[in-house]
A and B are shown apart, each in its own frame.
Chain A
């Protein structure tokens, strides 16, 4: 079974750094894209960016370029989303998603990681 399992909830202070993870299983990690989607409280879905672990090709949404860093470690089938300096406005649920190829849907989705940034 294809699964994406994300790291647990985080509570951080503004200015702190954070790296959340998404561990994949049930398929060949290097040959599928892994993306990240943000959902702010009570709001819709926003695409942040995507990485192809096979060659580390990364594409960011213009809205998130420079605000976050996406990476992956093929040796442990894990993708990451990180912030160097969190803001209160980064408080949201973050989902990792898998995509096969251009134009394909996101399937499956990780269970989500809730990030709370508060002083």
Chain B
């Protein structure tokens, strides 16, 4: 099972960024999203498709439909520049799978 993310997404400050994560039969799996800023450990931003982690701004949201999950960042700020990873759990094996990561660049 493979999770596919675009390698990079660029957005101007104040605009909306959308980062996708795709896989076969995706709709049956819950998706978690992590943010990793340069030189830092990842942190959880969105869990179970849509729930925002503690201390994460309301500008961050997510949804899962069909074969694609999407992380949405509204009113993008320079401080949102980071790598974003999606993650699911392989059903039956209790093994997690990470997407390849998307580098968000704020223009």
Interface residues of A (CB under 8 A from B): 35, 44-47, 50, 59, 61, 95, 102-112
Q: Are B95 and A59 in contact (CB under 8 A)?
A: yes
- The residue on A at minimum CB distance from B46 is A105
Contact B44 A102 (CB under 8 A): no
Majority secondary structure, A binding face: strand
Q: Which of A59, A102, A105 lies in contact with B32, CB distance below 8 A?
A: A105
| A61 / chain B contacts, CB cutoff of 8 Å | 95
Given the known interface contacts A95-B41, A107-B53, the answer about A44 and B96 at a Cβ–Cβ threshold of 8 Å is no
A102 & B96 in contact (Cβ 8 Å cutoff): no
Interface residues of B (CB under 8 A from A): 30, 32, 34, 41-44, 47-48, 53, 85, 87, 89, 94-101
Q: Quick one: which of A47, A102, A109 contacts B41, CB cutoff 8 A?
A: A109
Chain B residues, Cβ within 8 Å of A108: 43-44
Give the docked Cα–Cα distance between A106 and B95 (Å).
12
* 17 new A-B contacts at CB < 8 Å, known A46-B98, A95-B42: A44-B85, A44-B98, A44-B100, A45-B87, A47-B95, A47-B96, A59-B94, A61-B95, A102-B89, A106-B44, A107-B43, A107-B53, A108-B44, A109-B41, A109-B43, A109-B44, A111-B41
